[in-house]
């Protein structure tokens, strides 16, 4: 039992400073995290696997990195972490283990982070809720009747509950921003190519997916970007002073376009609309120039192309996994939604994929023009309040109905996976039931610093750091 009762009140930067100063030891910090992890798992079910003994052993000699001794958790999807299980939320891959670290995993370790284990994810990360048949649903620390989001739902729940201050997350269509919004966190999806690569499964020229973390504080996101940014020629230019030091500088008056227009034309829920207007007012009070402007896009063509690329990559991932496992997958090993998408991807022709890639490139050029006269574009993250467990269950809900519900719940996130731009979700509101409401802010390609500076300003003005679920406040 840990004696460090103040553990959950610190972010990762704060914990690292305490450990460096000798006020607490890495062992004490890790014991506090393990205590919280055991209680959290009983309520929220956010870990797919744990290895507390390995965490204790690492804490005995935590190294010298910027986050030396700070507890961490790794999403159970594609990030290769030596010795850890790799279930990816699927019965097909439930017995896989990692044999070596990916470059990103090595960077996390070098920074001094200590993993407690792997967090839950929906099967292959394809839904906005974490309710896989393999592990069962992961519940929201703010209210366990509700989802924690997906696909980084286990990581977001663990951070929101105060188990770890930061956790690995990834985003292929909203999977960092959606759980961050559901759980009241900061969720930065960096620009395409910004972060050190993770695995061959995502190492394709036009990947929608990007890896990073979810955090409570903006400074943790900035400091983490300093630790894991790619410095090769394949990464966009970085600020000379670094992200953490640059993020505390005022952004200056920004030109911010805002919109709640959805691809379907369906209006967002009134509580989301109210939180959106509050955020717009706050931006105005801070001196930014705000205008309403909608994205001009043929959304039917966009989502047809997005689905073609996404399903083709999923089918190739399953093929590669079958080679690794030395057996063909069986339909009964997959959830209905996943198997439908695998079959669709197998039926795509090369010409269809090339046409879809061209459509995405044209969309990206259009997005570049849209940002020609603005610095930032703001929308909500979700179109309705955080759903209850079961409403988006990919096993119980028929796939076409699941598509309709997902479109209503998550209408705003996929475009920026296609365009490669950085986007950050910030917990600027709450609904009438006390659940968080997130707003997403997109910047120009490579402009993470602008988003981090704006986020720091909004963090100070809105006070979200003081809003935490009861589970996180308990010693």
The model's pLDDT over 378-407, given as tens digits with 9 standing for 90+, comes to 999 999 999 999 999 999 999 999 999 999
**Cα–Cα distance measured from residue 384 to residue 337, given in angstroms and rounded to the nearest whole number:** 22
36-60 mean pLDDT:
98
Task: Give the residue with greater pLDDT, 199 vs 234.
Answer: 234
**Mean pLDDT for all residues in the chain:** 96
Residue 49 DSSP label: E
Which of 75, 111, 155, 207 is the catalytic position?
75
118 catalytic per annotation: no
- Is the pLDDT at 205 greater than 90? The verdict is no
Q: What SS3 state is found at 189?
A: strand
> Residue 167 pLDDT more than 90?
yes
Q: How confident is the model at residue 412 (pLDDT cuts 50, 70, 90)?
A: very high
Confidence label for 203 from pLDDT (cuts 50, 70 and 90): low
Mean pLDDT score, 315-337: 94
Q: Any residues with CB less than 8 A from the CB of 296 and at least 6 apart, and which?
A: 366, 370
Confidence of residue 197 (pLDDT cuts 50, 70, 90): confident
* Catalytic residue chosen out of the listed positions 8, 90, 175, 312: 175
Instruction: Single out the residue of 244, 251, 261 nearest to residue 283, CA to CA.
Output: 251
Q: Is 151 a catalytic residue?
A: yes
Give the helix/strand (H/E) hosting 430.
strand 423-430
Chain-centroid distance of CA 167 in Å reads: 9
For residue 300, count other CB atoms closer than 10 A to its CB.
Answer: 9
Select which of 90, 151, 155, 425 is catalytic.
151
* pLDDT value for 471: 85
7-473 CATH choice from 3.40.50.620, 3.90.1300.10, 3.10.620.30, 3.40.50.720: 3.90.1300.10
Q: Average pLDDT in the 347-358 region?
A: 97
Q: Between the CA of residue 5 and those of 31, 142, 147, 170, 241, what are the distances in Å?
A: 11, 21, 28, 30, 35
The pLDDT of residue 165 is above 70: yes
What confidence score (pLDDT) does residue 472 get? 85
């Amino acid at each position: 039992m840990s004696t460090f009762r103040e553990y959950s009140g610190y972010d990762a930067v704060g914990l690292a400073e305490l450990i460096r100063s000798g006020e607490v030891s890495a062992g004490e910090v890790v014991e506090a995290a393990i205590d919280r992890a055991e209680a959290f798992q009983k309520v929220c079910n956010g870990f797919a696997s744990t290895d507390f003994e390995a965490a204790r052993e690492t804490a005995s000699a935590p190294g010298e990195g910027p986050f030396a001794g700070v507890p961490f958790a790794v999403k159970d999807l594609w990030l290769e972490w030596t010795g850890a299980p790799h279930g990816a939320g699927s019965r097909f891959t439930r017995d896989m283990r990692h044999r070596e670290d990916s470059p990103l995993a090595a960077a996390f370790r070098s920074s001094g982070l200590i993993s407690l284990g792997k967090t839950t994810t929906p099967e292959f990360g394809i839904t906005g809720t974490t309710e896989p048949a393999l592990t069962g649903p992961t519940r929201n620390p703010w209210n366990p009747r509700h989802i924690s989001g997906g696909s980084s739902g286990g990581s977001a729940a663990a951070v929101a509950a105060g188990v770890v201050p930061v956790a690995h997350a990834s985003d292929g269509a909203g999977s960092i921003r959606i759980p961050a919004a559901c759980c009241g966190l900061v969720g930065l999806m960096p620009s395409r190519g910004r972060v050190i690569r993770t695995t061959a499964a995502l190492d394709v020229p036009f990947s929608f997916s990007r890896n990073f973390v979810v955090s409570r504080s903006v400074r943790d996101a900035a400091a983490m970007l300093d630790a894991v940014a790619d410095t090769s020629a394949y990464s966009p230019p970085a600020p000379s002073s670094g992200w953490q030091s640059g993020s505390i500088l005022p952004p200056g008056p920004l030109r911010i376009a805002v919109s709640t227009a959805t691809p379907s034309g369906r209006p967002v829920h009134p509580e989301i609309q109210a939180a959106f207007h509050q955020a717009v007012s706050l931006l105005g009070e801070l001196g930014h120039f705000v205008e309403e402007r909608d994205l001009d896009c043929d959304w039917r063509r966009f989502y047809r192309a997005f689905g073609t690329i996404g399903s083709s990559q999923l089918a190739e991932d399953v093929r590669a996994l079958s080679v690794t496992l030395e057996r063909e997958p069986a339909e009964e090993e997959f959830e209905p939604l996943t198997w439908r998408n695998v079959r669709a991807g197998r039926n795509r022709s090369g010409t269809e994929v090339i046409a879809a890639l061209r459509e995405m490139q044209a969309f990206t050029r259009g997005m570049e023009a849209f940002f020609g006269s603005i610095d930032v574009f703001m929308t909500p993250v979700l179109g309705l309040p955080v759903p209850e467990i079961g409403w988006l269950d990919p096993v119980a809900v028929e796939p076409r109905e699941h598509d309709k519900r997902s479109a209503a719940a998550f209408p705003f996130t996929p475009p920026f996976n296609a365009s490669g731009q950085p986007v950050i979700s910030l917990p600027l509101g709450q609904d009438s039931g006390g659940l968080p409401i997130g707003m997403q802010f997109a910047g120009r390609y490579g402009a993470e610093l602008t988003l981090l500076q704006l986020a720091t300003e909004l963090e100070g003005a809105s006070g979200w750091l003081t809003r935490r679920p009861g589970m996180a406040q308990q010693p």
